[in-house]
Amino acid sequence: MTDSSSVEIDSVKAQADNPPSPSQAKPFQFSLRQLFWATLFCAAFLAVAVQFGIGGIVICFFAASFGAVAYGAIGRNKWFFAGLPGVFIFGLGLLLPSLGTPRTVARRSQCQSHLKVIALALHSYHDVHGSFPPAYIPDATGKPMHSWRVLILPYLERKDLYDRYNFSEPWDGPNNRKLAAEMPREFACPCQPRPANGPLVETNYLAIVGPNTAWPDGKAVHLSQVSDGTSNTLLVVEVHDSGISWLEPRDLHISQMATAINPPRGQGISSRHGSHNDKGPGSCAMAIFCDGHTEVLHNDLPPDLLRAMLTARGGEDVSRHNYWDQ
C-alpha cells in the first residue's frame, strides 16, 4: 500500500473518530424524507381541522403524540412508522368531505320523501272528504283542539294511532299526551336533532294558515277554491326547530312569519339542508304545493314571489316570475 493511501485512510479514520461538534453542524438541516412527512402531516392537520373543528384538532394531537412516540422507539424504520398516523389523518381528511356531501343529499332526499308522503295523505283525505282537512278542529269556545296532522293519520297507515286518539279531550289531555312519543317518522326532518332524553315529538312540517291561505282558520278548503293555482300555492312547509308538538293544533301563521327562506330573525320557512349547488347548511328548505308536488325553496327566493305563493286567493300572478327557469 502506498504512503498516500495510508494517509488517506488515516484521514478518514480521524474524521470518524472526531465528528464535528454541534456548533460546527449546519443548522436546520433536514432530509427530503423528513420534509415530506412534515408537509404531509401539516396538510393532514389542516384537512381534518377544517372538517371537524375542535374535534379534528384533538384527533391530530393524539396522532402526533403517537407519531412522536413511534419516532423515538421504533429505530431503523422510525420515519416510516412515525409517519403512518399522518398518512391516516391525511386520508381521513380527504375522504370525509366527499362522504359529507352524499350524506347531506341523502337527508335532503329523505326530507322530500317525507313531504311527498304527507302530500299523498292530504290528497287522499281530500278524495274521501271532498276537501283538505281544516288546520284544526276547535272546541265549543273556538279554541284550537285537534290538529290536521291527527286527522290524516289513517292515510299515513297509522289508523292504530288514530283510533287511540281521544277527540273528546284536548290534544294535550291525559290520554292524548301519551301518544306524543309515537310521532310518525314522516312528521320530522332527518336533520332535526334528537333530544338526549326521550323521543322526538317536535314536528318540522307546518301548514301556512291565515286569511286567503289554503288553510283559513278552522275551515276546510276544496282544490277548486285555490284560485291562484294549485301549483303556485304553498300547502305545507318545512320549519326547523319549530317547537311545536306534532299533536298541537298550531302552525305557521301568514301574519307572523317572515317572507324569506331561512330568515335570520323571526319564524318562517327554514331548514338545515344544503342546496344543490353546495352553498352549505341552511341555504334552502322544502315545501308542498297544493297540487301535491314538492319543491326546494332556496334562500334567494324573491320576497314578492314568496308572498304570492303563501295565498290561495290573493290574485297574484306567479307566472310573471322566471325564478324557476333559472
Task: Give per-residue pLDDT as tens, 116-125.
Answer: 999 999 999 9
Mean pLDDT of 204-230: 95
Residue 297 has pLDDT above 90, yes or no: yes
**pLDDT at residue 194 in the model:** 86
Cα(271)–Cα(141) distance, integer angstroms:
35
Judged by average pLDDT, the poorest of 116-130, 190-204, 311-325 is: 311-325
Cα(202)–Cα(205) distance, integer angstroms:
9
Closest CA to 203 of 243, 171, 150: 243
Neighbours of 24 (CB within 10 A): 7
Mean pLDDT of 247-257: 96
How does 260-294 read in b/e, with b if 16+ C-beta sit within 10 Å? bbbeeeebbbbbbbbbeeeeeebbbbbbbbbebeb
- The secondary structure element, H or E, covering residue 60 is helix 54-73
**Cβ contacts of residue 35 below 8 Å, gap of 6+?**
none
**pLDDT at residue 136 in the model:** 97
Cα(285)–Cα(108) distance, integer angstroms:
9
High-pLDDT (> 90) share of the chain, %: 55
Does some domain include residue 250?
yes
Cα(201)–Cα(213) distance, integer angstroms:
26
Spatial contact of 263 and 271, defined as CB atoms under 8 Å apart: no
**Cβ contacts of residue 221 below 8 Å, gap of 6+?**
131, 132, 214, 215, 312
Higher pLDDT, 18 or 238: 238
Higher pLDDT, 300 or 76: 300
Residue 98 has pLDDT above 50, yes or no: no
- Written as nine digits, the cell of 221 is 278548503
Does some domain include residue 84?
no
* Chain-centre distance for alpha carbon 135: 27
Does some domain include residue 163?
yes
Closest CA to 297 of 308, 59, 74, 99: 308
Q: Is the dihedral of CA 169, 174, 175, 180 positive or negative?
A: positive
Closest CA to 183 of 168, 210, 205: 205
**pLDDT at residue 129 in the model:** 97
Mean pLDDT of 260-277: 86
Neighbours of 224 (CB within 10 A): 8
What 3-state DSSP class applies to 96?
helix
Mean pLDDT of 271-295: 83
Cα(145)–Cα(187) distance, integer angstroms:
19
Q: Residue 317 belongs to what domain range?
A: 109-325
- Written as nine digits, the cell of 261 is 327562506
Number of domains in the chain: 1
Does some domain include residue 255?
yes
Does some domain include residue 42?
no
High-pLDDT (> 70) share of the chain, %: 63
Does some domain include residue 116?
yes
Does some domain include residue 310?
yes
**pLDDT at residue 97 in the model:** 47
Q: Residue 31: which pLDDT band, with cuts at 50, 70 and 90?
A: low
**Cβ contacts of residue 71 below 8 Å, gap of 6+?**
78, 79, 81, 82
**pLDDT at residue 100 in the model:** 46
**pLDDT at residue 57 in the model:** 58
**pLDDT at residue 326 in the model:** 46
Does some domain include residue 302?
yes
**pLDDT at residue 64 in the model:** 59
Higher pLDDT, 79 or 259: 259
Cα(66)–Cα(75) distance, integer angstroms:
15
Cα(110)–Cα(105) distance, integer angstroms:
9
**pLDDT at residue 251 in the model:** 97
Residue 41 has pLDDT above 50, yes or no: yes
Mean pLDDT of 287-297: 95
Average pLDDT value over all residues in the chain: 80
Residue 205 bridge partners (DSSP): 238
- Written as nine digits, the cell of 105 is 343529499
* Chain-centre distance for alpha carbon 210: 29
**pLDDT at residue 161 in the model:** 98
Q: Residue 289 corresponds to which amino acid?
A: F
Mean pLDDT of 66-71: 55
Residue 76 has pLDDT above 70, yes or no: no
Q: Residue 70: which pLDDT band, with cuts at 50, 70 and 90?
A: low
Distance in angstroms between the alpha carbons of the first and the last residue of the chain: 89
**pLDDT at residue 99 in the model:** 43
Residue 224 has pLDDT above 60, yes or no: yes
